[in-house]
Structure 1
Amino acid sequence: MRKERKIINTNIRLNLLEESDRKAWEHLQNMDRKEYKSYSRAVVAALNDYFDRKEKLEEDPYLETREKEDVFLDSLLSKFEKQLENAVPLMIAEHMFQLLQHMPRGVDSENTGKWDYEKENDNLQANQAWEMQKQQEIEEAEDAALDFADSF
């Protein structure tokens, strides 16, 4: 049994001296033949996409802006999540270091109560080195965030 069809035949004229016409012709020539079996299927899909989008924009003039904002926010969130993954170990290390700072230091191993100034000096140097490393990592993260923001 033959499927009933109601076909309308129309022509499309393209002026290859016009940039937009030439570009449309190139799209038709280079289209994926597995996805679009004919020019008609490609033109139907393109027209429907174009006019559906145009109708949505007429109903909601801020749709395009929100779509751009959504893409921007998704990109921003993924960058922040990545930075947060990198920052969590630093935060844990910082808290551990703060806990260690509150523990008694500089007392000799025999607990005689005598202050060991060499141990205190070593602790101060380790603290300064850790703080410099932490500051450098923060600056790197801030630079990465500013580079990201500048890319828009």
Structure 2
Amino acid sequence: MMKRIFTTTLRLDMTDEEDRRAWSYLQRMDKKQYRSYSRAIVAAVNDYFGRQEQLAADPYLETREKEDAFLQRIESTICNALRFAPVPMAAVQPSTPMQTEPAPADDDLSMALDFADSF
């Protein structure tokens, strides 16, 4: 198969902070993962515009991702805290069930309804 190569020029303005940061990334990129600047730029452009398309198609995607990440952090924090808890959680639970108020007797309920009906 014959390659169809399109050549373009990338210009970076070293007085612009974002351009300098991009140049720094290109200088420090992992040569094993990206064989050339072209491969790194292709991956970055595809990721950026792919993400923009996803957000346009699903406006709540970013919110759900943030919520999922937040819940994951909460879950891992709780798991870590329980792992290092000095006593098992079963020991913290009360041994006797909490006492609840007894349900009102039917007579009390009937009297209350009769009283309410008298108005």
TM-score (norm 2): 0.70
Task: Work out which of the residue numbers 25, 30, 35 in structure 2 matches 1:32.
Answer: 30
Tell me how far 1:83 sits from its aligned partner.
Answer: 3.7
Change over 3 Å in CA distance of 1:6–1:72 after alignment to 2: same
- Percentage of identical aligned residues: 49
Given the superposition, is the C-alpha separation of residues 24 and 93 from structure 1 closer, same or farther in structure 2, using an over 3 Å criterion? closer
**Deviation, structure 1 residue 77:** 1.1
Q: CA deviation at 1:7?
A: 0.4
* Equivalent in the alignment of 2:91: 92
Q: CA deviation at 1:4?
A: 1.4
Amino acid at match of 1:31: M
Q: List 4+ stretches of structure 1 deviating above 6 A.
A: none
Per-residue deviation, 1:88: 6.7
* Greater RCO (CA < 8 Å, at least 6 residues apart): 1
Match of 1:56 in 2: 54
Cα deviation, 1:61-92, whole Å, max 9, x if unaligned, reads 11111111111101101222334453872433
Q: How does 1:75-90 map to 2 (within 5 A)?
A: 75-85=73-83, 86=85, 89-90=88-89
TM-score between both structures, scaled by the size of structure 1? 0.56
Cα pair distance change 1:18/1:91, threshold 3 Å = same
Q: Which runs of 5+ in 2 are unaligned?
A: 97-119
Indicate how the Cα distance of structure 1 residues 93 and 15 shifts in structure 2: closer, same or farther if over 3 A, else same: closer
Consecutive unaligned residues of structure 1, counting only runs of 5 or more, are 100-152
Counterpart position of 1:41 = 39
Aligned-CA RMSD value: 2.2
Task: Give distance in 2, aligned partners of 1:92 and 1:49.
Answer: 50
Q: In structure 2, how many angstroms separate the alpha carbons of the residues matched to 1:11 and 1:89?
A: 63
